[in-house]
Amino acid sequence: MLNRYKSKGAAAQLKRSIVRNTGLYVMSLPVVIYFIIFSYLPMYGVQIAFRNYSLTAGITTSPWVGLEHLKVFYQSYYFGRLIKNTLFLSLYSLLVGIPAPIILALMFQEVRRKKLRSVLQAISYAPNFFSTVVACGMIVMFLAPNTGVIPVLMEALGLNMSTSILTNKDAFRHIYVWSGIWQNVGWSSLIYTAAISGIPTDQYEAAAIEGASHLQQIIHITLPNLAPTITILSILAMGGVMSVGYEKVYLLQNDLNLETSEVISTYVFKTGLLNKKPRYSFSAMVGLFNSVVNLFLLSSVNMLSRRISETSLW
Partner 1 sequence: MTSNVSNIIKPTPADRVFRYVALFFLLVVMVLLTYPLIFVINASFTDPLKLYSSPLLLYPKGFNLGSYSIAFANSDIWIGYRNSLIYTFLGTIVNIVMTILGAYPLSRKDFTGRNVLTFFYSFTMFFSGGLIPYYLVVSGLGLVDNIWTMIIPGAVSVYNMIIMRTFFSTNIPTELEEAAKIDGCSNFRLLLSVVLPLSTPILAVLSLYYGVDHWNGYFHAMIFLNDRNRYPLQLFLREILIQNQMSDMLQIATDEKYAQRMMDQLGLKYVVIVVSTLPIFIIYPFLQKFFNKGVLVGALKG
Segment contacting partner 1 by CB under 8 A, of 38-46, 72-80, 84-92, 168-176: 38-46
Among positions 7, 9, 17, 95, the unique one binding partner 1 when judged by CB under 8 A = 17
CA pair distance 303, 311, nearest whole angstrom = 9
Judge contact between 108 and 121, C-beta under 8 A: yes
Judge contact between 193 and 107, C-beta under 8 A: no
Asked whether position 223 contacts partner 1 by CB under 8 A, the answer is: no
CA pair distance 35, 306, nearest whole angstrom = 29
Asked whether position 134 contacts partner 1 by CB under 8 A, the answer is: yes
Among positions 68, 269, 293, 312, the unique one binding partner 1 when judged by CB under 8 A = 269
Asked whether position 184 contacts partner 1 by CB under 8 A, the answer is: no
Among positions 291, 300, 308, 309, the unique one binding partner 1 when judged by CB under 8 A = 291
Could you give the dihedral angle defined by the CA atoms of residues 206, 207, 211 and 212, in that order, rounded to the nearest 10 degrees? -170
Q: Which is nearer to partner 1, 1 or 29 (CB)?
A: 29
Q: Which is nearer to partner 1, 1 or 277 (CB)?
A: 277
Q: Which is nearer to partner 1, 1 or 237 (CB)?
A: 237
CA pair distance 181, 224, nearest whole angstrom = 24
Of residues 60 through 99, those in contact with partner 1 by CB under 8 A are none
DSSP string, 93-160: HHHHHTHHHHHHHHHHHT---HHHHHHHHHHHTGGGGS-HHHHHHHHHHHHSTTT-HHHHHHHHTT--
In Å, what is the CA distance from 76 to each residue of 79, 80, 287, 314?
Answer: 6, 8, 15, 37
Among positions 3, 4, 39, 63, the unique one binding partner 1 when judged by CB under 8 A = 39
CA pair distance 112, 223, nearest whole angstrom = 19
Indicate the residue type of 30: P
Minimum gap (Å) between residue 76 Cβ and partner 1: 17
Minimum gap (Å) between residue 51 Cβ and partner 1: 12
Among positions 95, 153, 219, 223, the unique one binding partner 1 when judged by CB under 8 A = 153
Asked whether position 244 contacts partner 1 by CB under 8 A, the answer is: no
Minimum gap (Å) between residue 241 Cβ and partner 1: 12
Asked whether position 249 contacts partner 1 by CB under 8 A, the answer is: no
Segment contacting partner 1 by CB under 8 A, of 1-9, 61-69, 78-86, 120-128: 120-128
End-to-end distance of the chain based on CA atoms, in angstroms?
30
CA pair distance 259, 261, nearest whole angstrom = 6
CA-based nearest residue to 98, from 196, 221, 227, 220: 227
Among positions 80, 214, 224, 308, the unique one binding partner 1 when judged by CB under 8 A = 214
Q: Which is nearer to partner 1, 94 or 120 (CB)?
A: 120
Segment contacting partner 1 by CB under 8 A, of 60-68, 72-80, 89-97, 146-154: 146-154
Among positions 177, 241, 263, 284, the unique one binding partner 1 when judged by CB under 8 A = 284
Among positions 52, 164, 234, 312, the unique one binding partner 1 when judged by CB under 8 A = 164
Total of residues contacting partner 1 (CB under 8 A): 111
